[in-house]
Structure 1
Amino acid sequence: MAYVDLLSAIHKSTQRDYLARVNDPDFPKPKAAELAKKWGYDYWDGDRKICYGGYRYMEGRWEKVARAMAEQYGIKPGDKILDVGCGKAFLLYDFTKVVPGVEVYGLDVSEYAIENAKEEVKDRLQVGNATNLPFPDDHFDFVFSINTLHNLHCYDLDKALREIERVSKQNKYVCVESYRNETEKANLLYWQVTCEAFNTPEEWEWWFRNTGYTGDHSFIYFE
């Protein structure tokens, strides 16, 4: 298990006003969170004050992540890869551009996301939960989950990490939100609308050890 940073460049490219987010008069944090946790239109394509504010495909944005993953884990044509919490599957689509012939699969709890996913890979996506992956043991050459597992309560987080370990032959990667100090903790609390697992890096590593997760990981910090 190693720390492999594949996401911070994309995360840091977004400008955030933490105080404006938590104090918004139209969508104060409790209201925004209630809407976001329905995982529907408001979460993906509604007002930016709730969450993404229009989650649309941007040429090249996720391709750099797909390329970094392919190089890190030696992904080749014919390999099976799974994205747990795939959303609209923009990263999976870009994977097919970076590694033509790769077999991509995605699962997400949001029916809206799957219905509005990239058409080119939609037939490989399904609605489901990370706690019960509908695949055999050791089925995938690479399993990854980006900005998803921190949305689970502890009892479901335990199941999800064990499921990722179960369906992967070897290579696994998860990226989750975390904090290293009180400033980052406050910023995370101000910005998030769906997070349930608020863990320091040391606490996340405790989860990895105690669930038997043997893959790589990285953290998103709100600095």
Structure 2
Amino acid sequence: MTQIDFIQSLHASTKRNYVERVTAHDKADCAAIAKQWGRDYWDGERHLGYGGYRYDGRWRQLAERMAAHYGLKPGMRILDVGCGKGFLLYEFTQAVPGIEVAGLDISAYGIENAKEEVKPFLRTGDARRLPYGDNEFDFVVSLGTLHNLPVEGVMEAVREIERVGKGPAKYIMVESYRNEREKANLLYWQLTCESFHRPESWAWLYAQAGYTGDYGFIYFE
């Protein structure tokens, strides 16, 4: 396993008012609504989730970097666990024409409102029980998803990601913290997170699950 930072700079480009997140609205009510994974979470008000999750091309550079790093080629198969509206998968099809994509997300709303070009390849489902065969994919990616599971669910999902991927070409990114300020900011900002760990604890969990891929984090600085 290797820790690789693909995403922190993109994450940090969005400005967040952490204190307002917990003072302007009832945080518990907002979290309960967000965890329904419906319209409010994706395209409702900002205090309920993304505040409008729309395609803007920001994932293209990430897809290109990952494709280059993992040597992705036409004809290979990619799975995105927690694909949302499929924006990253669409960018993979542009970065590597001829690549085959598949995506899974717990949100029916996200899939129903996915980018049309990849929508036929997406399905609703649970990361803990991936509906795919062993060694089916050349690359498996999961961004900002597994921290939404309790720790036992994290272990199940990581084992499933390991099972469906052919080799070490896998990448998992979750939210984490390196100090008390980042921990406080994460707790203020999150709506759906169930597992809160430092990077070294996440690495330990991955190792316990038999994970052989790479991993990374985003921090709320």
TM-score normalised by structure 1 residue count: 0.98
What is the CA–CA distance in structure 1 between the aligned matches of 2:181 and 2:39, rounded to whole Å?
A: 31
Structure 1 moving runs of 4+ over 4 Å:
none
Aligned to 2:163: 166
Aligned to 2:134: 137
Letter in 1 for 2:68: E
Residue aligned with 1:169, SS: coil
Q: For residue 179 of structure 1, report the CA deviation from its aligned partner.
A: 0.7
Q: Map residues 140-219 of structure 1 onto 2, 5 A cutoff.
A: 140-170=137-167, 171-219=169-217
Letter in 1 for 2:10: I
Q: For residue 75 of structure 1, report the CA deviation from its aligned partner.
A: 0.4
What is the CA–CA distance in structure 1 between the aligned matches of 2:86 and 2:132, rounded to whole Å?
A: 18
What is the CA–CA distance in structure 1 between the aligned matches of 2:50 and 2:4, rounded to whole Å?
A: 25
Letter in 2 for 1:15: K
Q: For residue 51 of structure 1, report the CA deviation from its aligned partner.
A: 1.1
Aligned to 2:15: 15
What is the CA–CA distance in structure 1 between the aligned matches of 2:54 and 2:149, rounded to whole Å?
A: 25
Deviations along 1:145-174, one digit per CA (max 9) or x if unpaired, are 000000001121110000000000011000
What is the CA–CA distance in structure 2 between the aligned matches of 1:55 and 1:16, rounded to whole Å?
A: 16
Aligned to 2:66: 69
What is the CA–CA distance in structure 1 between the aligned matches of 2:60 and 2:31, rounded to whole Å?
A: 30
Aligned to 1:118: 115
Consecutive unaligned residues in structure 1, runs of 5 or more: none
Aligned to 2:49: 51
What is the CA–CA distance in structure 1 between the aligned matches of 2:81 and 2:151, rounded to whole Å?
A: 17
Letter in 2 for 1:17: N
Q: For residue 28 of structure 1, report the CA deviation from its aligned partner.
A: 1.8
Q: Map residues 87-102 of structure 1 onto 2, 5 A cutoff.
A: 87-102=84-99
Aligned to 1:107: 104
Residue aligned with 2:166, SS: strand
Letter in 2 for 1:78: G
Root mean square deviation of aligned Cα: 0.6
What is the CA–CA distance in structure 1 between the aligned matches of 2:158 and 2:128, rounded to whole Å?
A: 8
Aligned to 1:29: 27
Letter in 1 for 2:200: E
> Percent identity at matched positions?
59
Deviations along 1:39-79, one digit per CA (max 9) or x if unpaired, are 000100000111100000003x1000100110010000000
Q: For residue 202 of structure 1, report the CA deviation from its aligned partner.
A: 1.2
Letter in 1 for 2:33: L
Q: 2:76 aligns with which of 75, 79, 104?
A: 79
Number of residue pairs aligned between Structure 1 and Structure 2: 220
Consecutive unaligned residues in structure 2, runs of 5 or more: none
Residue aligned with 1:72, SS: helix
TM-score normalised by structure 2 residue count: 0.98
What is the CA–CA distance in structure 2 between the aligned matches of 1:103 and 1:129, rounded to whole Å?
A: 21
